Structure 1
Amino acid sequence: MALLRVAVAAVLLTDLAIRSTDLEAHYSNMGVLPLQVLFEHNWNPYEFSLHSSSGLWQVQAVLFGIAAVVAVALLLGYHTRLATAVSWVLLVSLQNRNPLISQGGDDLLRMLLFWGFFLPWGRVYSWDARKRPVPTELTYFSAATVAYVVQIAVVYWCTALLKSGAEWTTEGTALYYALSLDQVLMPGGKLIYPYPELLRFLTFATYYLEKFLPFVLFLPFGVRWWRLLFVGVMFGFHIGISLTLFVGLFFLINLASVLGLLPPVAMDWLERRLVPAAQQLRPHVAARLAPWRARLAGWQRPVSFQISSSMEVSAGMRQLLRSVREGLVVGVLVYVCWWNLDNIVNQRWTMKEPLRWLGYLVRIDQHWGMFAPAVFKDDGWYILDATTTDGRHLDLNRRGQPLTYDKPESVMRLFKNDRWRKYSENYLFVSNAYMRPYYCNYLLRIWREQPGSSPLRHLDVVYMKEISLPNYKTTKPTREVLCGCDAASE
């Protein structure tokens, strides 16, 4: 659980670092989703967001900075439970600010923090642990540990059960179609793409792995070996995904999520190799810090105080509070399982809308439909066709180079990061047509602000649509103008 805490905190910091490069574009009123548009089209009345308190990117920067400091505290295990709660609140707030760039990994990261609040993942390998005696028992069981294990299993069960298309269940062509999507194709995917039989085998392997492997987490015998098998297979599985498909932080979040399943035998092996090395470094670090500690001690004024309290919590009261906590976790776990079953079972067992407010409020809502029920066949690339005042056509998606309709060598490289790729995916949907002018005008403004940029008269956001067909064939790309805007009306 300590490794789980450290990994989750590291992912949080990585996520903040990536998102911080688009403070204005994704989180301010000068970007692609101003607050009034968010509240009109993407807001649920039960949601909350501190990030929606202002449309200034400077305010977003302050909130990002606070989130980073708290994530470091979580990483170090400093006031762990408080750091977990604050990190969860700030993460929910951030995700609610711009749902157009969210993906499945964000749901999992949010849930890891939620369940982590009820776990003692700061009990060892933490700053807090320095003030407490070494635990006499390093195994732990509670409703929260059950919830954590069930949550991991539910992720894979649901994504498998939602994969109901023939590409997954009978044809075995799902991975072929996934690697046909140039927007997510990585170099590793290019290597295996020409081998249809290999892709067919990997498709069925993925489907049955997600469907059946989680059962080993609940076997009552050989627990340590089953857990090692699960963690090892999932590490290989998600590293393989990261080498073949452009999924952003999705694979890192999934790698972090299974670390809490490592059995004692794995931790003993790690301690024998890592802890002695850390202990050898400790005297050298202490020697370097000694002069600074002495200087700080000279600056400090001696202050003595004593706080006494006659308030004591009896053993019976502690047991009552523990029982209330366990009952709360069990209730939430049942709610989460019901939510996940909603898209799988028949209408008779569907969760009614009046019961969904809790999921929206604390963001335990989740959906694991990765490439489900089937893989998209629609593919293509964006062209930002800008017309200059002297009649030339430039492609802003290629840094103002002369316009060409030729397919780029790597479509994936046209995206700054996975957040922009997800935004562009949502940009295509007719239901999201309201968001198109804001992106178009944003592009015009940032182009105009670049030194030496050619003055523009008009911009068309063009999508070159290419549909993937069986047997390594595609349709002829067709030009679709999704949005157009004039520089004068910006």
Structure 2
Amino acid sequence: MLRRLAGDRAAIDRRALSAFRIGLGVVILVDLLLRSRHLRALYTESGVLTTDALASAYPPLAGVSVHAVADSVAGPAGVAVLFVLAGVAAVALAVGYHSRIAAVISLALTLSLQARNPFVLNSGDLLLWQLCLFATLLPIGSRWSVDSVRTSASSDRTSTERTGARVASVATAALLVHVALVYVTNAVFKLRGDRWIAGDGAAIAFSMDQFTVLLGPWVAGSPTLLWVLNYAWLGLLVASPLLVLAAGRIRTTVAAGLVGGHAGMVLTMAIAVFPLVSIVSLLPFLGSGVWDRIDDAIVNVREWFAAAVGGDHTGDAGFASSRLDRRRIGRGLRIAARAFAAALLVGTLVWNAAVLGYVETGAGDAGIDPAEYGWKMFAPDPSGTDRWFVIDAELASGEHVDGLDRGSVTRDPPPDVDATYPSARWRKYLIAITVADDPAVSRSTADYVCRTVADRTGQRVESVEITYLERSTWPEPSEEVGTNRLVRHDCRT
């Protein structure tokens, strides 16, 4: 009985795995498109972070980025080629063409890109490469894929295929546990604070103008809605253990609630692809009933299309599901994959226990503090502080211009803090380097401003001063603004 219960909770509908694969490919593609807007500035030697500065801040990462190597060989064009290759792999992953190979390539290029500039990363980026890793161990191409069409023995759907066979393994258990722990650990951190329990957590988070976009300012102006959102989200986080302890409709309901919460983040907060990655991570928790309805919709659309264009195209060969992924791999490889999945499962449990302070791992002896790598999104309590930057470039003529070409140089609080940043990645970079406080990184960033301002204005740049200003945003924006100089750099040296 225990084995059956464990199997039910470790099982994932094959169509859910396929939706997971499609979502993963689409999110990687969206992430690449968003990052490509600042390809030269954030990911090349001619940008804000030289490889020497990267080596100063993150010595282990300096030699592992293929993007850095491509840049040294072919310049920004080499990095652009890797972006294109990653996009091709993401498309192959989404359509299910050699799915696991596409997942392996996506994993490698994602890790390489993230290693090139870790200052722009958030929790969503960490989760993204981890999901790619799990994808290499799972039968992600057994449904709704080119792979399934190529290996399908018949276009007729059996009753098993109609309802969708589930798969349960160490790898599926590891994926489910890993994703569930993202929410469980965040719940623990929030419960250790005061503001979420008091009903103020969401209000403080939305008070920070540097994050709010689209519907965000409207939500921030509704105290009642913020109170409801605070307890609704906290309730879902507290219920998150049911993602692995329960099955069926209960699991689906909790997962659907979390998906809805992340969809709301897309419409209200500028936090890169974090909410999209989170939505993809929750797809494997949705039950077979959800996928039955999606299958029905697909069949209805195909039958409508067949009727519209004429002819009999109602067979399922074009979008078929194979009974099982029959691709054979060697026994040794299967054993290795299972052992690796088991190690991931154990590692996930131990690492998150260390993050929460329940066990000692000895990671501190290697200079790694697990507490710095927890899923703390706005926890224990949101900071309630807005931060913006003044990048003052002095020209040879004596004129002062903004280093990011955002208009006149001013230290006055901006009407929209988020609008002062070129993108969410830029915001993350600038704020992260103030925390890192590494002189090599600050100089590298100032050097980039020297070059870009000189190119833009056609004048010699004498110096660049980067200052960050901050003020409290809750319960009301403070009149007092703190000023902190990050770096003053002489561009002539």
**TM score, norm. by length of structure 1:** 0.83
1:328 counterpart = 2:340: yes
Structure 2: gaps of 5 or more residues: 1-16, 312-327
In 2 relative to 1, CA 259–50 (structure 1 residues): closer, same or farther, beyond 3 Å? same
Note if 1:62 corresponds to 2:67. no
| Amino acid aligned to 1:239 | A
* C-alpha distance in 2 between matches for 1:379 and 1:36: 30
Change (3 A) 1:279 1:117: farther
Report whether the alignment pairs 1:141 with 2:168.
yes
Q: Is 1:380 aligned to residue 384 of structure 2?
A: no
Give me the whole-angstrom Cα distance separating, in 2, the residues matched to 1:42 and 1:430: 10
SS in 2 for 1:184: coil
Whole-Å Cα distance in 1 between the matches of residues 61 and 87 of structure 2?
Answer: 28
Would you say 1:370 and 2:391 are equivalent positions?
Answer: no
1:201 CA drift (Å): 4.1
Flag structure 1 segments of 5+ consecutive residues without an equivalent: 288-314
Q: Does 1:232 align with 2:259?
A: no
Query: 2:438, 2:191 → 1: CA distance?
Result: 26
Which residue in 1 is equivalent to 2:177?
150
2:19 matched to 1:7?
no
* CA distance in structure 2 between the partners assigned to 1:439 and 1:367 by the alignment: 28
Supply the AA of the counterpart residue of 1:374.
Answer: D
For the residue of structure 2 that corresponds to 1:211, the secondary structure is helix
Q: Confirm whether residue 405 of structure 1 aligns to residue 411 of structure 2.
A: yes
Aligned to 2:269: 245
In structure 1, what is the Cα distance between the partners aligned to 2:491 and 2:337? 58
Which residue is 2:361 aligned to?
A: 351
From the superposition, tell whether residues 376 and 218 of structure 1 become closer, same or farther in structure 2 (CA, over 3 Å): same
For 1:342, what is the secondary structure of its paired residue?
helix
2: CA distance, partners of 1:254 / 1:441:
36
The residue type equivalent to 1:404 in the other structure is: T
Of the three residues 413, 424, 438, the one matched with 1:418 is 424
Does 2:465 correspond to 1:460? Answer: yes
- 1:439 paired residue number: 445
Go from structure 1 to structure 2 and tell me whether the alpha carbon gap of 1:432 and 1:205 turns closer, same or farther (over 3 Å shift): farther
Name the residue aligned to 2:34.
18
CA distance in structure 2 between the partners assigned to 1:118 and 1:373 by the alignment: 34
Structure 1: how far apart are the matches of 2:119 and 2:202? 25
Q: Which amino acid aligns with 2:92?
A: A
Once residues 265 and 219 of structure 2 are traced to their aligned partners in structure 1, the CA distance between those partners, rounded to angstroms, is: 12
Determine the C-alpha separation between the residues in 2 that align with 1:188 and 1:177. Answer: 16
SS for the counterpart of 2:59 is: coil
Instruction: Provide the C-alpha distance between the structure 2 equivalents of 1:165 and 1:261, rounded to a whole number of angstroms.
Output: 27
Are 2:276 and 1:272 equivalent residues in the alignment? no
Q: Deviations over 1:456-488 (max 9, x none)?
A: 43222122221235x324141133222122332
Conservation of the 8 A alpha-carbon contact between 2:124 and 2:273: yes
Structure 1, 45-54 or 95-104: larger mean CA deviation: 45-54
SS of residue in 2 equivalent to 1:269: helix
Match of 1:396 among 400, 403, 407: 403
Q: Distance in 1 between matches of 2:134 and 2:63?
A: 19
Quickly say closer, same or farther: Cα 1:29–1:319, change in 2 above 3 A: closer
In structure 2, distance between residues paired with 1:457 and 1:356: 42
8 Å CA contact 2:396, 2:462 repeated in 1: yes
CA contact (8 A) 2:171 2:341 kept: yes
Whether 1:175 and 2:202 are equivalent positions in the alignment is yes
Q: Indicate how the Cα distance of structure 1 residues 355 and 15 shifts in structure 2: closer, same or farther if over 3 A, else same.
A: farther
- Following the alignment from structure 1 to structure 2, what is the Cα–Cα distance between the partners of residues 366 and 473? 30
Q: Note if contact 1:382-1:397 (Cα within 8 Å) is conserved in structure 2.
A: no
Partner amino acid for 1:92? L
Residue 485 of structure 1 pairs with residue 489 of structure 2: yes
Answer yes or no: is the 8 Å Cα contact 2:55–2:61 preserved in 1: no
What is the one-letter code of the residue matched to 1:483? V
- 1:302 — aligned with what? none
Q: What is the CA-CA distance between 1:165 and the residue it aligns to?
A: 5.0
Kindly state the Cα deviation for residue 177 of structure 1 after the two structures are TM-superposed: 2.1
Q: Give per-residue Cα distances to partners, 1:122-159, cap 9 Å, x unaligned.
A: 01111111122368552211111111211221110011
CA distance in 2, matches of 1:337, 1:433: 37
- TM-fit CA distance, 1:100: 0.7
Identity fraction in percent: 27
What do the CA deviations read for 1:152-183 (whole angstroms, capped 9, x no partner)? 21110011112355334543322222122221
Residue identity matched to 1:435: V
Cα gap change, 1:231/1:116 in structure 2, threshold over 3 Å: closer, same or farther?
same
Change (3 A) 1:430 1:332: closer
**Alpha carbons of structure 1 residues 478 and 31: separation in structure 2 relative to 1, 3 Å:** same
Please tell me the residue identity of whatever aligns with 2:189. Answer: L
* 386-395 vs 22-31, greater mean Cα deviation: 386-395
Query: Which residue of structure 2 lines up, in the alignment, with residue 49 of structure 1?
Result: 65
Task: Tell me which moved more, 147-156 or 455-464.
Answer: 455-464
**Residue 355 to residue 7, structure 1, CA distance change in 2 (3 Å):** farther
Cα distance change of structure 1 residues 430 and 33 upon mapping to structure 2, 3 Å threshold: closer
Match status 1:124 vs 2:129: no
Q: State yes or no: 1:192 paired with 2:219.
A: yes
Task: Describe the SS at the equivalent of 1:386.
Answer: strand
Q: Return the offset for 1:430.
A: 5.3
In 2, Cα distance between the equivalents of 1:323 and 1:390? 69
C-alpha distance in structure 2 between counterparts of 1:183 and 1:112, whole Å: 28
**Cα distance change of structure 1 residues 232 and 403 upon mapping to structure 2, 3 Å threshold:** same
State yes or no: 1:448 paired with 2:454. yes
| Aligned-residue offset at 1:455 | 4.9
Q: SS in structure 1 opposite 2:166?
A: coil
Question: 1 CA distance for matches of 2:413 and 2:470?
Answer: 11
Instruction: State the Cα distance separating 1:69 from its structure 2 match.
Output: 1.3
Residues 225-255 of structure 1 deviation map (CA, whole Å, 9 limit, x = unaligned): 2233123212211122223322111111111
Alignment of 1:254-269 (within 5 A): 254-269=278-293
| CA shift in 2, pair 1:29/1:397, >3 Å | closer
Q: Rate the CA distance shift 1:159–1:356 in 2: closer, same or farther, 3 A.
A: farther
The count of corresponding residues between Structure 1 and Structure 2 is: 449
